[in-house]
Amino acid sequence: MLRNLATSLINSREERIVTTLPKAKELRPFVERAITLSRRARSFADEGSDARALHLRRQAAGFFHAGNMTVSEVTGKRGQLRPERTAGVSALKRLFNDLGERYKDRPGGYTRILKLGHRDGDREELAIIELVDNPREVEAATAAKKRAKAASSKRKKGGRKEAKETEATEAAEE
């Protein structure tokens, strides 16, 4: 169950999933360990130690279904081709390509849990577990900075204009 939840969280477009609160609390350390492995592998790859990075990648593959398994083409029933299990493989690729780079300077705390309230059917408490510093969050932060900068520049311009007007009126009175 944790492997499926971790795969869903890593592969989700919004980088968040809705689940029950106890599952989210169990999932948090599971996903954070996998992200830490990708961070460490990124640092080893930058140093040139590809064997250590490969070892960490294989360790992280254990957190996902079919992470490092190579399936031969003729292992299905009666010679039929077995379909690829790509969710775990794509999660592993995303973990090491995108998330390892994103969190390379962050010492921990890669996930956030937000409580949603109780579900109607069984009154189970729901929660959203999401990855921090996701693109949606970064975009909102830059937009807020732009709005704040524009507002402060308007205040400055307005303040200068009023100051010039008062100087002009004072000079006219003298």
pLDDT tens figures, 73-131: 555 566 666 656 688 888 999 999 999 889 988 888 999 999 999 999 999 999 999 99
pTM beyond cutoff 0.75: no
Q: Which two tokens stand for residue 107?
A: 């010492």
Does residue 67 surpass a pLDDT of 50? no
Q: Which helix or strand (DSSP H or E) is residue 21 part of?
A: helix 21-47
Q: Which helix or strand (DSSP H or E) is residue 3 part of?
A: helix 2-11
- How crowded is the C-beta side of 110, counted as CA atoms within 13 Å? 28
Angle at 143 between CA 138 and CA 149, to 5 degrees: 125
Query: From CA 141, how far away is CA 115, in angstroms rounded?
Result: 22
For 113, list phi and psi in degrees, rounded to 5.
-115, 125
Q: Are strands 16-20 and 111-118 parallel, antiparallel or unpaired?
A: unpaired
Q: Which helix or strand (DSSP H or E) is residue 97 part of?
A: none
Q: Which of 126, 104, 105 is nearest to 116 (CA)?
A: 126
Q: Tens digits of per-residue pLDDT, 39-66? A: 999 888 888 888 999 999 999 988 887 6
Residue with tokens 């490969």: 54
Q: Which of 64, 54, 69, 66 is nearest to 11 (CA)?
A: 64
